[in-house]
Structure formats: structure tokens, C-alpha cells
Amino acid sequence: EATTSVGDSLPKVQCPNHPDAILVEDYRAGDMICPECGLVVGDRVIDVGSEWRTFTNEKATKDPSRVGDTQNPLLNGGDLTTMISKGTGAASFDEFGNSKYQNRRTMSSSDRAMLNAFKEITTMADRINLPRNIIDRTNNLFKQVYEQKSLKGRSNDAIASACLYIACRQEGVPRTFKEICAVSRISKKEIGRCFKLILKALETSVDLITTGDFMSRFCSNLGLPKQVQMAATYIARKAVELDLVPGRSPISVAAAAIYMASQASAEKKTQKEIGDIAGVADVTIRQSYRLIYPRAADLFPPDFKFDTPVDKLPQL
């Protein structure tokens, strides 16, 4: 028989014939075996190591998760729910055959609505390549608005779209209403209404958009070189400083500046090409261009290399 020697504090299992032998543990069978004579010294040994079984359908991937789904701080209750399995014995049913123990709805309707909105926000952000920090800010804004219940009657998709627009402006990477509208199922007018209501409800504000916020994105989408982008930025800023475009949207001013800079360079772009990228009508670009054209000579940066001189620019 195996002997157990009592040391200073804890008992030690050892082989009676080879007390100094280091025992080998067979994890599958739960046995302690002497390597010298093969004697099973202890059986049914409890494995206290980590158990890394996979709980996913993909067998190839590792799933070192022991605690279920990740916690979502935006949801109430911290995702800690208990599921009761269906009973099989007679004690699980009453005299009418109905189950005595039933699960409550595993998620409240408010949490379900928020989860759907978070999915919609992530989908919209992915379509226009927005980073994770903007998605997180949008989710937090939506949660605040949803819990205040100040926009009752408005669709959650409209609120989510407006929150995405606000988050972009607060993070310093504003998108136009048309860009948000393109990835959303909601009209531009409805997003604009929700935008104003949310700012009022949360008592927050956003910085005014400027022509420089859109210039680099519009120019890179048009494939314009750095020199034209810098010239367009300079023209738009100078036009605003000289008060040549009062009451005009920064987006239309930026589009007109890009048109003027591209026409003066070798990389000429049409109003339609610029309008498609900026989400501005050709007529709007022409109206803003006519306002800045008379002062064109004062608007270009001093070091700009003209392919077409200022007096030969299109007058429209």
C-alpha cells in the first residue's frame, strides 16, 4: 500500500518501495504513479490547474474565456443574468403540467433597444471608416439621451445618427449632414432636428465648423496634390477674413476654394466632380465662386505656382 508521511505541516503521498522517487501525475486518469515500479500511489487526484476548454463553435480557435460574455458598462445590470434550464423531473412541473421555474426575459426592453442602437452606430461608423473612440463617444451620448427620455417620439435610428454627427464634431473630425445621411436610413431634415434637440437636452455645445475641417478630406478624395490643397485652404481662410462670403456655408466656401485652386493649377477639376465629393450642388459652388472671384488676385498664397494665371480663370 502507498504510505503517507506527515511532514512539518502537510501530509505527503509517496511510494512505500521508493520513498524518494518523484511521482508522475496522469492528468487524464487522475492517478499518481511511481516511475520506478509503476505502482498507482494515489487515484482520483483533483486537478487544480486551469481548464482551457473551448466553448466556441470554431474548433481551431482558442477560447480562454471562463466567465461568459464581456461586460458592457453601457447596459444596466452589468450583463449578469442567470438562466434556469428546463426541468425534467416531476418536481419541475405543477399539476397542470406547466413549468414551475421560468426564466424572466433575459434582457429588458430598454437594454435591447440600446443594443440595437449601438449595433446601428457601429455599422454607420464602419461605413465611413470612423475610429473606435468616436463610436464610444456616440454610444455614451445615445445612452444619456435615451435615459433622459427627452426625445420621446423620435426614432432611435434618428437619435443615433444625430449622436454620431455630434461625436464627430466634438472629436474634431466633423462630417457633413449629407455624409451621415448617406450611411443612415434617416432623412437629413430629421437628423438636423434631432441634432438641435439633443444639444438642448444635454445642455452641451459643439464648435463651429470651419472650411479647414473638410479641406484635407475633400482634396484627398479628389486626388489633388498637396500644393493645391494648401492653396485652397489659404483661399478659403482669406475669403472668410475679408468677409467675401457672408452667410455662406463653410462646406460651399471650401468647395469654391478647391475649384479656384484647381483651375489655377495643372490638376483641374470640374464643379460636378467637386460637388459630388463635397455633397454640394454645382449652383451653390458657382454662387460662392462668384463672390470670391473679384478678389482672386489677393486670395492666392504668395508662393503658389500658377499653371493658369488669375486673369484667365473661368468667370462663370
Q: Beta strand 24-26 with 11-14: parallel, antiparallel or unpaired?
A: unpaired
C-alpha cell at 70: 464581456
Residue 145 confidence (pLDDT): 92
CA pair distance 254, 150, nearest whole angstrom: 36
Q: pLDDT tier at 84 (50, 70, 90 boundaries)?
A: low
Q: What is the mean pLDDT of residues 237-246?
A: 92
Q: Judge whether 47 and 34 are in contact, CB under 8 Å.
A: no
Question: What does the pLDDT read at residue 63?
Answer: 56
Residue 130 · residue 121 · CB < 8 Å: no
Query: What was the pLDDT predicted at 70?
Result: 61
Q: Which residue has the cell 512505500?
A: 16
Which stretch of DSSP H or E encloses residue 42? strand 40-42
Structure confidence at residue 283 as a pLDDT band (50, 70, 90): very high
Instruction: Find which of 23-37, 93-107, 170-184 is predicted with most confidence, using mean pLDDT.
Output: 170-184
Q: The C-alpha cell of 73 is what?
A: 458598462
In DSSP terms, 4 is beta-bridged to 13
Is the pLDDT at 190 greater than 70, yes or no?
A: yes
The count of residues in the chain is: 316
Contact 166, 195 (CB under 8 A): yes
Instruction: Quote the CA–CA distance of 122 and 170 in Å, as a whole number.
Output: 18
Q: Which CATH number fits domain 109-202: 1.10.10.60, 1.10.472.10, 1.10.3720.10, 3.10.20.600?
A: 1.10.472.10
* Residues 126/118, Cβ–Cβ less than 8 Å: no
Task: Report the candidate in 145, 150, 137, 81 with the shortest Cα–Cα distance to residue 114.
Answer: 145
Confidence of residue 205 (pLDDT cuts 50, 70, 90): confident
Same fold, 109-202 and 211-312: yes
Non-local CB neighbours of 146 within 8 Å, separated by 6+ positions? 110, 113, 114, 117, 156, 159
Tell me which residue of 174, 185, 81 sits closest to 124, measured CA to CA. Answer: 185
What does the block give as the cell for 19?
520513498
Bridge partners of residue 14, in order along the sequence: 3
Mean pLDDT of 59-79: 59
Rounded to whole angstroms, how far apart are CA atoms 124 and 182? 9
With a cut of 80, say whether residue 54 has pLDDT above it: no
Closest residue by Cα to residue 25 from 5, 10, 45 = 45
Supply 263's cell numbers.
483651375
Complete DSSP assignment for 65-127? -SS-SPP-TTSGGGG----PPPP-SGGGB-TTS-BSS-PPPSS-HHHHHHHHHHHHHHHHHHH
CATH superfamily of 211-312: Cyclin-like (1.10.472.10)
User: How is the chain split into domains, by residue range?
Assistant: 109-202, 211-312
